[in-house]
Amino acid sequence: MFKSFKPMLAAAALSLAVLSQGAVAAEEQFFPIPGYRVGPYGANGQSFYGGFIDYLTYVNLKDKGVNGVTLTYEECETEYNNAKGVECYERLKGKAAKSSGPVHTMSTGISYALIDKSAQDKLPLAMMGYGRTDAVDGSVFPYAFPLVTTYQMQASAIVKFIKEKLGGNLAGKKIVYLYHDSAYGKEAIIAMEAEAALNKFTLVQIPVAHPGNEQGAQWLKIRQEKPDFVVFWGWGVMNQTALKAAQKVGFPRDRMIGSWWTGSEEDVVPAGDAAKGYMAATWNVAGKEVPLIADIEKVVYGAGKGNLQDKSKIGTILYNRGVSAAVLSVEAIRKAQEKYGKGKAMTGEQVRWGLENLNITDARLKQIGATDLLPEIKTSCDNHEGSGKVKIQQWDGAKWVSVSGWIEGNKALIHPLFQASAKQYAKEKGITPRDCSKEK
Amino acid sequence: MNFFFEVLIGGLLSGVMYALVALGFVLIYKASGVFNFAQGAMVYLAALSVVGVMEWGAPLWLAVILAFTIMTLFGIATEKFVLRKLVNQPPIALFMATIGLAFFIEGLAPMVFGSEPRALELGIVDEPIPWILDNWNMVISKFDLVAAGVASLLVATLALFFQYTRIGRALRAVADDHQAALSIGIPLQNIWAIVWGVAGFVALVAGMMWGARNGVQFALTFTALKALPVLILGGFTSVPGAIVGGLIIGASEKLAEIYIPPVMQDLFGGNFGGIEGWFPYVLALLFLLVRPEGLFGERHIDRV
């Protein structure tokens, strides 16, 4: 009974959760978390933020914080609602004035609403796999970080994967792009069109109206089009509906590849057998085989400090994504401390610098225990993405299985699109872009 | 032409699913004259109760019985704690109360049963029927046909209930005028409790069908959005109207989704589509201009 009651109570009742055991450390690094655990996408938020907070607790328990600086946080419930997201941000930013980790909203809409505010307040906004993707160009967006990879680079990587599957040539082939008819769904169109022009395949775009719980017409159209592959950009109920509808019209699921928002356990389990064989892109792997995930379970849950009521979520794709987001956030703080003083709490401005100078190699990932959890990342002023790689995973009916190595999208094709868009944004807003050659 | 009929039949079968949700609205409206904003949330609560109880180890049949009990108790509680205080208040007060009820359910249900989306297996495969596919090259799902059968049965039962039973007639009397019904001895509280219980049952059936189709999750509350244009077309007080309205909306939105975007693209360029979200509302709006009471709704005449 009352499955999600404990974390909600914790979020509501505790104005500030100090994660350290025993005595409170002299320095504390604060994380403002405008997240969501209830509402239409509450299940996604529970896993993601559960993983995120568990890693902060893990660092406190295992290493006594970052060079002795204890990690603290406060959650504010946004319900994935833009207005509430902004309200939460405004409520938390006062507490983040002295020290602040990156802000993770897990929402493109909220991120868009905060992009100017966070720059004014000098608080770094992380948008890992969502949000405003032209913020890859850090000369225009110094405080926004679409880390690891973007919708466009992901779409490009998926096309690369399909090309390999179809024998290295896409000329004359047909790909349907089935997408949520929203800003999120439309983000990747520009990349799909560029790839279609380059690889000479036919692209058929089919939008689905929100929330996407009815797709009969779209799938009958797909049946009529007879595509080689369906690239699928869904969200929430649209994902299960698509898988069920594909089954209904007899379209093979192993010729459907989704974005990472369509590739969690929450997306496939409700579709039952209809999801078997379906593939999706991801920038982090699932499972407890990753040593860090197993160690978090041992250390954090062993100490009775775990954030999740439902331990079965540990190792799921979204839980591991939350851990990955926290790993990058903590590494940014570590990096910032190297420049601004070890053992000190870092301000948002200093953490921004850390995020912009990340260099997480496979060797470093191995040190953390996160080998292959996520790709190598190297950020800079003109590249706030830092990687552009995804893996393709396949649902075997019970778990996600990686069916590719890390695939990088076509950077030469996609990044100029970001730069052009960022340039336009700078012009509209009257922003003078930074000279990245002078940033270090 | 074959494709046209495939889309048309698919749309009609989808319309049946909308009608299932619309029926719940009609029941409450007939009995209390209020639009129940919480109907979508009730569909969610009912389906979540089934999967939640199953997760505690109960078989499907027992879970359905327990979920029905939950919905009935919920109906009785709604009458006792919400509606009883609002007898003879303007309909807008009742409507506002149902908005509050919707938020209450949407918060409480996942707190009790968990918010993660789950599968609901009813043992009906959602795959094309092979012989129709082989002979006519048309995709007709077994699941959709079962849903149509269930909806027809439900409509027939409810229509008979309203028309020929004492309680049914009492329900209609209450809907016409609370005070008049009370003055001739109709127990308003009991009637409301019964109708909310029946609406809970309809929500359970709709929740199970939609849950089996798309998974049991918060988005079940959105099914109400599909029912609104159905109600405008069919009339808020007609059970058969809900079905006919559902069929019209289902068929027209699917045909519109397939055939309108190419025309728009030819005329204006760009990429159109995804219109089935708003098309039924436009259709309903046009219909309102011609026949405000809906196809089967009661025509309201005030004598001065």
Residue A12 has pLDDT above 70, yes or no: no
Could you tell me if A259 and A177 are in contact, meaning their C-beta atoms sit under 8 angstroms apart? Answer: no
pLDDT band at A117; cut points 50, 70, 90:
very high
Tokens encoding A253: 């699921």
CB-CB under 8 Å, A249 with B3: no
| Record: fold of A5-14+25-149+290-382 | Rossmann fold (3.40.50)
Of A37, A220, A272, the CB nearest to B121: A272
Other beta carbons within 10 angstroms of residue B281's beta carbon come to 15
* Mean pLDDT lowest among A109-123, B175-189, B202-216, B244-258: B175-189
Could you tell me if B254 and B14 are in contact, meaning their C-beta atoms sit under 8 angstroms apart? Answer: yes
Tokens encoding A221: 């159209």
Distance between CA atoms of residues B48 and B50, nearest Å: 5
Separation in Å, CA of A66 to nearest CA in chain B = 33
CB-CB under 8 Å, A181 with B110: no
CB-CB under 8 Å, A8 with B111: yes
Residue A152 has pLDDT above 60, yes or no: yes
Residue in chain A closest to B279 (alpha carbons) equals A209
Which are the contacts of A327, defined by CB distance < 8 A and separation ≥ 6?
Answer: A55, A292, A368, A370, A373, A374
* A198-213 pLDDT tens trace: 999 999 999 998 888 8
Separation in Å, CA of A91 to nearest CA in chain B = 23
Could you tell me if A184 and A144 are in contact, meaning their C-beta atoms sit under 8 angstroms apart? Answer: no
Cα torsion A190, A202, A264, A130 to 10°: value is 0
Residue A1 one-letter amino acid: M
CB-CB under 8 Å, A3 with B126: no
pLDDT band at B244; cut points 50, 70, 90:
very high
Give the per-residue pLDDT at A1: 46
Distance between CA atoms of residues A436 and A433, nearest Å: 9
Residue A317 has pLDDT above 60, yes or no: yes
* A221-236 pLDDT tens trace: 999 999 999 999 998 8
Give the per-residue pLDDT at A17: 46
Of A38, A213, A269, the CB nearest to B219: A213
Query: Which is more confident, A173 or A37?
Result: A173
Report the alpha-carbon angle B250-B256-B262, nearest 5: 155
CA A401 to chain CA centroid, nearest Å = 19
Separation in Å, CA of A42 to nearest CA in chain B = 7
Which residues of chain B does A9 touch, with a Cβ-Cβ cutoff of 8 Å?
Answer: none
Decide: residue B167, CB within 10 A, 0-12 exposed, 13-18 middle, 19+ buried. middle
Residues of chain B above pLDDT 70, percent:
99
Could you tell me if A42 and A358 are in contact, meaning their C-beta atoms sit under 8 angstroms apart? Answer: no
Q: What is the mean pLDDT of residues B150-163?
A: 85
Which residues of chain A does B219 touch, with a Cβ-Cβ cutoff of 8 Å?
Answer: 40, 211, 213, 236-237
CB-CB under 8 Å, A207 with B274: yes
Give the per-residue pLDDT at A133: 94
Could you tell me if A47 and A266 are in contact, meaning their C-beta atoms sit under 8 angstroms apart? Answer: yes
Residue in chain A closest to B2 (alpha carbons) equals A224
Give the per-residue pLDDT at A425: 96
For A:244-283, CB contacts with B below 8 A are 244, 247-250, 266-267, 269-272, 274
pLDDT band at A281; cut points 50, 70, 90:
very high
CB-CB under 8 Å, B128 with A250: yes
Tokens encoding B222: 């959105």
CB-CB under 8 Å, B141 with A274: no
State how far the alpha carbon of B131 is from the alpha carbons of A247, B127, B136, B138, B149, in Å: 17, 12, 8, 9, 19
Which residues of chain A does B223 touch, with a Cβ-Cβ cutoff of 8 Å?
Answer: 213
Distance between CA atoms of residues A406 and A390, nearest Å: 5
Of B7, B14, B215, the CB nearest to A271: B215
For A:106-145, CB contacts with B below 8 A are none
pLDDT band at B226; cut points 50, 70, 90:
confident
Residues of chain B above pLDDT 90, percent:
43
Decide: residue A131, CB within 10 A, 0-12 exposed, 13-18 middle, 19+ buried. buried
pLDDT band at B190; cut points 50, 70, 90:
confident
Strand, coil or helix: what is A32?
A: strand
Other beta carbons within 10 angstroms of residue A180's beta carbon come to 26
Residue A174 has pLDDT above 70, yes or no: yes
Q: Which of A76, A134, A155, A83 is nearest to A382 (CA)?
A: A134
Q: Which of B10, B2, B64, B25 is nearest to B233 (CA)?
A: B25
Q: Which of A99, A109, A102, A126 is nearest to A26 (CA)?
A: A99
- On whether any CB of chain B is under 8 Å from the CB of A9, the answer is no
Q: What is the mean pLDDT of residues B114-121?
A: 88
Tokens encoding B239: 């059970």
Give the DSSP H/E element, type plus range, for residue B200.
helix B188-214
Query: Which is more confident, B139 or A380?
Result: A380
Which residues of chain B does A223 touch, with a Cβ-Cβ cutoff of 8 Å?
Answer: 139
Residue B240 has pLDDT above 90, yes or no: no
CB-CB under 8 Å, A214 with B14: yes
Distance between CA atoms of residues B186 and B180, nearest Å: 9
Give the per-residue pLDDT at B174: 81
pLDDT band at A440; cut points 50, 70, 90:
low
List the single best residue of A2, A3, A218 to mutate versus B (max B Cβ within 10 A). Answer: A3
Which residues of chain A does B112 touch, with a Cβ-Cβ cutoff of 8 Å?
Answer: 1-3
CB-CB under 8 Å, A3 with B112: yes
Which residues of chain A does B142 touch, with a Cβ-Cβ cutoff of 8 Å?
Answer: none
Could you tell me if A324 and A284 are in contact, meaning their C-beta atoms sit under 8 angstroms apart? Answer: yes
Query: A241-274 in b/e burial notation, b at 16+ Cβ within 10 A?
Result: bbbbbbbbbebebebbbbbbbbbbbbbbbbbbbb
Distance between CA atoms of residues A140 and A418, nearest Å: 11
| Strand stretches in A212-274, DSSP E | 229-233, 256-258
> What's the longest Cα–Cα distance across chain A?
67
Where does chain A hold its CATH 3.40.50.2300 domain(s)?
5-14+25-149+290-382, 151-282+391-413
Distance between CA atoms of residues B38 and B106, nearest Å: 9
Q: Which of B42, B17, B44, B38 is nearest to B245 (CA)?
A: B17
CA B119 to chain CA centroid, nearest Å = 21
Q: Which of B47, B46, B45, B50 is nearest to B63 (CA)?
A: B50
List the single best residue of A213, A268, A276, A318 to mutate versus B (max B Cβ within 10 A). Answer: A213
**What are the φ/ψ torsions at residue A239 (nearest 5 degrees)?**
-70, -50
Residue A82 has pLDDT above 80, yes or no: yes
Distance between CA atoms of residues B22 and B240, nearest Å: 11
CB-CB under 8 Å, A244 with B273: no
Which are the contacts of B160, defined by CB distance < 8 A and separation ≥ 6?
Answer: none
Q: What is the mean pLDDT of residues A53-71?
A: 97
pLDDT band at A26; cut points 50, 70, 90:
low
Average pLDDT over chain A, rounded to whole? 92
Which are the contacts of A390, defined by CB distance < 8 A and separation ≥ 6?
Answer: A149, A153, A154, A157, A158, A260, A281, A282, A283, A406, A407, A409
CA dihedral sign of residues A199, A234, B119, A54: positive
List the single best residue of B144, B210, B257, B260 to mutate versus A (max A Cβ within 10 A). Answer: B257
Of A220, A244, A250, the CB nearest to B214: A244
Give the DSSP H/E element, type plus range, for residue A120.
helix A108-121
Residue B178 has pLDDT above 80, yes or no: no
Angle between helices B239-268 and B142-164 (to 10 degrees): 140
Angle between helices A151-165 and A411-429 (to 10 degrees): 160
Of B6, B112, B128, the CB nearest to A2: B112
- On whether any CB of chain B is under 8 Å from the CB of A294, the answer is no
Could you tell me if A51 and A321 are in contact, meaning their C-beta atoms sit under 8 angstroms apart? Answer: yes
Could you tell me if B43 and B105 are in contact, meaning their C-beta atoms sit under 8 angstroms apart? Answer: no
Other beta carbons within 10 angstroms of residue B159's beta carbon come to 15
pLDDT band at A20; cut points 50, 70, 90:
very low
Considering the segment(s) A151-282+391-413 as one domain, its CATH architecture is 3-Layer(aba) Sandwich (3.40)
For chain B, the structural domain boundaries read: 2-220
Total-model pTM: 0.88
State how far the alpha carbon of B61 is from the alpha carbons of B57, B122, B138, B215, in Å: 12, 10, 34, 18
Which residues of chain B does A1 touch, with a Cβ-Cβ cutoff of 8 Å?
Answer: 112
Q: What is the mean pLDDT of residues A396-406?
A: 96
CB-CB under 8 Å, B7 with A217: yes
pLDDT band at A13; cut points 50, 70, 90:
very low
Residue in chain A closest to B125 (alpha carbons) equals A248
Give the per-residue pLDDT at A3: 52
Which residues of chain A does B277 touch, with a Cβ-Cβ cutoff of 8 Å?
Answer: 181, 209-210
Separation in Å, CA of B2 to nearest CA in chain A = 11
Which residues of chain A does B123 touch, with a Cβ-Cβ cutoff of 8 Å?
Answer: none
* Mean pLDDT lowest among A268-272, B84-88, B111-115: B84-88
Strand, coil or helix: what is A321?
A: helix
Distance between CA atoms of residues A333 and A350, nearest Å: 8
Could you tell me if B281 and B40 are in contact, meaning their C-beta atoms sit under 8 angstroms apart? Answer: no
Residue with tokens 């055991």: A21
CA A336 to chain CA centroid, nearest Å = 22
CB-CB under 8 Å, B253 with A269: no
